[in-house]
Amino acid sequence: MISEEIRQKFLTFFEKRGHKIIPSASLVPADYGDEGTLFTTAGMQPLIPYLLGRPHPAGARLVDVQKCVRTGDIEDVGDNRHLTFFEMMGNWSIGDSTAENGIGAGYFKQESINWSLEFLTSKEEGLGLDPKRFYVTIFRGEDGLPRDEEAIKIWQAAFAQAGLEANIAGEDEVVGENIRIIPLGKEDNFWIAGATGPCGGDTEIFYDTRPTDGPLVGKFGEMVDSFRLIEVWNNVFMEYEKMPDGSYKPLKQKNVDTGMGLERTTAVLNNVGVFQTDIFAPILAEITAHSNQDDEQAKRIIADHLRTAVFMLASGVGPANTDRGYILRRIIRRLVRYSDKIGATDNLSEKLVDLVVAKYENFYPELATEKDKIIVELKKEEEKFRQTLAAGIKIIDKEFAGKLNEVIDTAENMTSPLLTGEFFFNLYQTYGIPLELGLEEVKNRGLKLVKGIEEKLKTEFGDRLQKHQELSRAGADQKFKGGLASESKQVVRYHTATHLLQAALKEVLGPEVAQRGSNITDERLRFDFAYPAKLTDDQKNAVENLVNEKIKADLPMNRVELPKTEAEKTGATHLFGEKYGETVTVYYTGDDVASAWSKEFCGGPHVSRTGELGHFKIKKEEAIAAGVRRIKAVLE
């Protein structure tokens, strides 16, 4: 079964069970309460305001396939499991079926678990997998919270329907005959976005990929580590709220949040690794046809990074030296490096873009719309990177000229202060030159690496790289967290001010201004937009004055839900690269959406009146990428 079939089966299955299909949100998070993150990293992020209690225009039962990017494990890409871009299929219950929540008929554990097993095993409507090959984990209870007995009973009944006995593993967490339910602690089976907020236990569904190895008996964790058991689905049951004092109380609105990776599911269903699926096989074949080296890992990295770059560029992200632009630049440069490593011929990237667009354009039509621009941006960034590489090679020439004879016969007697792992790490960090290429360039200048030297350099470089990655991951935990973001009063004020800023920019600079991202904290707003030139002082003053004029007018902030086509007719601004459902929410200034000065597709939240904002002040305006500007502003 190919990936398109799986994606459509998933959507159809849940649509028949009362779910409304909603489109994927943009890879660039905006307007759903998680604006501090660089990319959408999970299916739940665009639904944050609704998980917190806001009614969703499409109702309480939702199903989607969400574009996601995660780069925390980028160094592991190429191992046939890790990816930077992926699609997350999810079905949602926003609010349970109790009458008092006013949301409508949702569902909780019973329906969620039963439908999961039904979709996985049904030959008519689902994937037709053998129920005997499934094992599940549940929350065993911890930190004063009870074991999820309800989930256990539901799973036992569901397995019984399939003719299977499902006993519970003991504290040793050993699976064996008739043991299919493994209780695990908070680290494995409890979901919470941050330090406080909505949370709850989850149940993860694992599939035995190698039944021919014999009966599955042994430690559950060891079976997962050996990749015999592969997680295919996770159902999160939000039923508690963690308070600032560390205690938990029942959550007023119960939610179900599920996630099923399309790439992993395709691999499991076809009993192959992710790079052997229909998603990557044509891309890898094209790479092989245009290379002269048989390096499977390098080819997988190229395939993964090219696909990710295409989706990022289609979402309006451009290469830059900070934030999401830096992530894109790093991915493209790794793509170029590995293409060179396998001797890839010219125009490989353009051919691969064609393959990716052809694969996804029916489901993500923005890829076809942006294809020409994507190819141009890739070529430009590759050219810039080659110029940077050339600058790095000049550093090697300068630093080692006439000094290679200082290196003598053993690593222990090496006297050159230049030949260190730190030197090669700096080349890598500043110019993107990997250790192997740096060593090769040094060798080309006459250095003979004698016994022990190369190993010593690799160890030093590896130690320095590991420290760098640890620092990067610590920062990424903040930038890529998938949490329920702050909706503090100050954040709400800045969110509303961002709407006024965009309207003012369009009036002063022209309608070609288009949002390329935003970041809001309690201290300031940051707004990225497409515009080809630096703003003059007069332009900045005009924007500032216009925003403050609307604040002084104390206009009401109103919202209206409209069919998407009607909302578009009002002229409301909406995000570049974003796909919207049939019904959208438009926030606007004034009493009438048709004549409103500022109007945008947005999930909120906003202040009641613009007069609540105070005085708007632009602190900085700068370029962050070709054709993309950034404004930082505060409310005083």
Strand 179-184, strand 167-168: pairing: parallel
The structural domains of the chain, with segments of one domain joined by +, span: 3-276, 280-400, 402-477, 489-635
Q: Between 421-431 and 435-444, two packed helices, what is the crossing angle to 10 degrees?
A: 110
Residue 306 pLDDT: 96
Residue 265 predicted with pLDDT over 90: yes
> Which range (36-50, 75-89, 154-168, 606-620) has the least confidence?
36-50
Select the more confidently predicted residue: 297 or 37: 297
Two structure tokens written together for 53:
């209690």
Residues near 405 by Cβ (< 8 Å), separated by ≥ 6? none
Residue 196 pLDDT: 74
Residue 607 pLDDT: 87
| Confidence band of 449 (pLDDT split at 50, 70, 90) | low
| Confidence band of 289 (pLDDT split at 50, 70, 90) | very high
> Which range (387-396, 399-408, 519-528) has the least confidence?
399-408
Select the more confidently predicted residue: 205 or 459: 205
Residues near 268 by Cβ (< 8 Å), separated by ≥ 6? 207, 209, 230, 232
Instruction: Determine the Cα–Cα distance for residues 468 and 462; give it in Å rounded to an integer.
Output: 10
Two structure tokens written together for 103:
């949301």
Residue 394 predicted with pLDDT over 80: yes
Query: How does DSSP classify residue 279?
Result: T
* Average pLDDT of the segment spanning 281-293: 93
Q: Are 58 and 65 in contact (CB under 8 A)?
A: no
Q: Between 281-289 and 296-314, two packed helices, what is the crossing angle to 10 degrees?
A: 120
Residue 409 pLDDT: 39
Two structure tokens written together for 169:
């593993």
Query: How does DSSP classify residue 142?
Result: B
Residues near 212 by Cβ (< 8 Å), separated by ≥ 6? none
DSSP 79-108: SSS--SEEEEEEEEEES-S-GGG-S-----
Instruction: Determine the Cα–Cα distance for residues 616 and 285; give it in Å rounded to an integer.
Output: 55
| Confidence band of 420 (pLDDT split at 50, 70, 90) | confident
Residue 137 predicted with pLDDT over 60: yes
Measuring CA to CA, which residue among 114, 129, 132 is closest to residue 232?
129
| Confidence band of 404 (pLDDT split at 50, 70, 90) | low
Residue 66: CB atoms within 10 Å:
24
Two structure tokens written together for 329:
């630049």
State yes or no: cis peptide before 605, omega within 30 of 0.
yes
Residue whose entry in the numeric block shows the structure tokens 């006993």:
167
Residue 440 pLDDT: 77
Residue 485 pLDDT: 46
Instruction: Determine the Cα–Cα distance for residues 547 and 635; give it in Å rounded to an integer.
Output: 11
Bridge partners (DSSP) listed for residue 634: 617
Instruction: Determine the Cα–Cα distance for residues 533 and 218; give it in Å rounded to an integer.
Output: 64
| Confidence band of 469 (pLDDT split at 50, 70, 90) | low
Select the more confidently predicted residue: 136 or 323: 136
| Confidence band of 438 (pLDDT split at 50, 70, 90) | confident
Instruction: Determine the Cα–Cα distance for residues 229 and 134; give it in Å rounded to an integer.
Output: 9
- Measured in degrees and rounded to the nearest 5, phi and psi for residue 110 equal -55, -55
Residue 100 predicted with pLDDT over 70: no
pLDDT tens digits, 589-607 = 988 888 899 998 887 678 8
Residue 585 pLDDT: 83
Instruction: Determine the Cα–Cα distance for residues 255 and 270; give it in Å rounded to an integer.
Output: 32
Which fold, 3-276? BirA Bifunctional Protein; domain 2 (3.30.930)
- Measured in degrees and rounded to the nearest 5, phi and psi for residue 97 equal -90, 10
pLDDT tens digits, 337-370 = 889 889 987 778 899 999 999 999 999 999 999 9
Residue 11 predicted with pLDDT over 90: yes
Strand 134-139, strand 197-208: pairing: antiparallel
| Confidence band of 490 (pLDDT split at 50, 70, 90) | confident
* CB-count exposure of residue 72 (10 Å: 0-12, 13-18, 19+): middle
Select the more confidently predicted residue: 625 or 129: 129
| Confidence band of 412 (pLDDT split at 50, 70, 90) | very low
Q: Could you give the C-alpha distances from 438 to 177, 292, 387, 393, 420, in angstroms and in order? A: 55, 21, 16, 8, 11
Residue 325 pLDDT: 87
Hey, which of 28-37, 175-184, 391-400, 569-578 has the most confident mean pLDDT?
175-184
Residue 433, classed as helix, strand or coil, is coil
Residue 134, classed as helix, strand or coil, is strand
Residue 482 pLDDT: 36
Query: How does DSSP classify residue 54?
Result: P
Q: Between 371-400 and 348-360, two packed helices, what is the crossing angle to 10 degrees?
A: 140
Q: Are 47 and 551 in contact (CB under 8 A)?
A: no
* Average pLDDT of the segment spanning 119-137: 96
| Confidence band of 411 (pLDDT split at 50, 70, 90) | very low
Q: Are 254 and 241 in contact (CB under 8 A)?
A: no
Q: Are 66 and 46 in contact (CB under 8 A)?
A: yes
Instruction: Determine the Cα–Cα distance for residues 484 and 524; give it in Å rounded to an integer.
Output: 19
Query: How does DSSP classify residue 63?
Result: E
- Percent residues over pLDDT 70 in the chain: 88
Residue 474: CB atoms within 10 Å:
9
Residue 536 predicted with pLDDT over 50: yes
pLDDT tens digits, 502-522 = 999 999 999 888 888 788 877
Which residue stretches of 122-204 are H helix? 149-161, 186-189
Residues near 438 by Cβ (< 8 Å), separated by ≥ 6? 396, 424, 427, 428
Residue 406 pLDDT: 52
Instruction: Determine the Cα–Cα distance for residues 95 and 112; give it in Å rounded to an integer.
Output: 13
pLDDT tens digits, 208-247 = 999 999 989 999 999 998 889 999 999 999 998 888 888 9
Q: Are 302 and 338 in contact (CB under 8 A)?
A: yes
Select the more confidently predicted residue: 196 or 36: 196
Residue 178 predicted with pLDDT over 70: yes
- CATH class of the domain at 489-635: alpha beta
Q: What is the mean pLDDT of the chain?
A: 85
pLDDT tens digits, 14-43 = 999 999 999 999 898 864 434 457 888 888
